[in-house]
Structure 1
Amino acid sequence: MATEANPAGRLFSVVLTLGLFAATTRSETLEQALHKVTIPNSDDVRGYITLPETLDDFGEGKIKWTSSRPDIVSDRHQGKVAPGIVRRPPPGSQAVNVILTACYVPCDSEDIYQEQARSILAAEDEWEVVSGCITHKMMNTTYAEAPLVVRANPSDPRGKGYYLYADQKWDESPAGDPLEEQLQPYWTKDLISGNWSPIAWTQKPEYDFAKGVIRHGSIIPLTTAEHAAWRRAELITISVTKPPHKTDYVHGESLDLDGLRIEAIYSDGIIDDELHEGYGGYTLSGFDSDMLGTRIVTVSYTVVNVTRTSTFKVDVHKRNH
């Protein structure tokens, strides 16, 4: 929607273009309410325009405005003065096009929303909001930022899913002054659903050492070998605690590792009771189903140039014709 302010005798012109957006899942009712948003007096812009801050019939939600030319039409509060202050261009200036974007936010707080597109480089109009006000809905936060999402490890006790970490303020923050910002984890089994549930820390950071500090952090995946190196723990030994279920093969069959359990013991007393094959885990050698007889399969695991091994046996037989 575009309107031009240029009454007779006026020495400047401002063209207002209104864009609408919602930081939440769209619905027919919401679409209808959004299209009712208008800018009063947009056809006679003087020293101030009133920008609506709420959406009728949508509870505590707020409308947040963005101006393409905040130097001409402001989009932020200035002390007690609301957005919408108009600064006139110099007399005789060309018409100024100002795009005002109204974004409906379904909670009265700065929060995190989730959106999706087919490509990370997709155009703005190709993005779809999946969920809005994620932390406010779950924990009644007043502010949240810096979302970080990581995939759960293969052996995570919660199963397959994703963790979301957010820096947020809420009434029951675990340390420091009331409403101090803290790092809070969330969980979902289905990333596309947008349904996140807060989870309690099982091992909370030592907040007492940094009271009053807004906390930001990063989560990076570590293999078991990398984690041991980070702890400066030496690899003492590994062992096959359970051999594979299948130990008899016929000529040409591939090795089946189902049921195999490998355990590693470190110098700091930590025991990894289930190592995995591949990068950062163990490797296998010695199996060749083209060679008949008993084969010794060697399991190797390395931490900072220290390699330990263990073995298990399999038998390879002729294929019956």
Structure 2
Amino acid sequence: MSTALDLSSRQAATRAAAPPALPENPRIARQRILPASAERRGIPRGIRRMAGPVLLVGIWHLLSVTGTLPAEVLAGPGTVLSSAAKLWGTGELPDAMVASLRRALSGLAIGGSIGVALAVFSGLFRLGEDLIDSTMQMLRTVPNVALIPLLIIWFGIGEEPKIALIALATAFPLYLNVYAGIRNVDQTLVEAGRTLGLSRAAMIRNVILPGALPNALVGLRYSLGISWLALVFGEQVNATEGIGYLMSNAREFFQTDVIVVCLVVYALLGLAVDFIVRLLEKVLLAWRPAFTGA
């Protein structure tokens, strides 16, 4: 009898000490886990990124209104804005932007396609490396501006030499970065793919090319920046439209305000395409966590 009482008291104590049972369908609130860097409070990054350009324009305006920077040397921000509004109202600036964008994107498409194709062939195969890499390393050291006379002889003075110059300038950064990305793929991942029995095509599609994608996007950013530099030089060659054409006309009449407008447009277009590449990086490299700064 005492044994039964002891057993029942132990079971009662065990039930009292046990945690309460959860309901059959518990509703647990979802909570988004953010990295520690995202939880910090302070000035928004957008405002901080704009601080530098705003400060630069403020110094420029101050130097202009005080006469330290004469208008003959460099027009003030107010004059530049009024000139930009006038050019936009007449339609000259939008037409010039469209023409320059068409040239830059056409040259980038041609040069980028050639550079990526050669990099993939050279990076994947030793025969391709032996046939291509030494030639590309040699040609990339030749200044692109020095090729303008030859391009004019070969293609004339129309649109072709301008696009060819941009294509040459943009092919090499993409080639170098894509080639380096392919050759820097982790060998452990390659061995794991072989262990899983992946074919060569599946290995290239699922392991090597995704591993080379970060370098490829870096090369694309470089190529976009260089395309604008090549465009500046290309549009000095008998251009009849484009931002460079406006700049050449302004130089003849010493219109520093129009020259600054053209330079600002070049900068803004470059910033816009760089922003697009950053968005591509966020979308295509979402699987690859990376350091974003302290």
Q: TM range, normalised to the smaller chain? A: under 0.3
Q: TM-score, normalised by structure 2?
A: 0.21
Higher strand fraction: Structure 1 or Structure 2?
1
Q: TM-score, normalised by structure 1?
A: 0.19
Higher relative contact order structure (alpha carbons within 8 Å, sequence separation ≥ 6): 2
Higher helix fraction: Structure 1 or Structure 2?
2
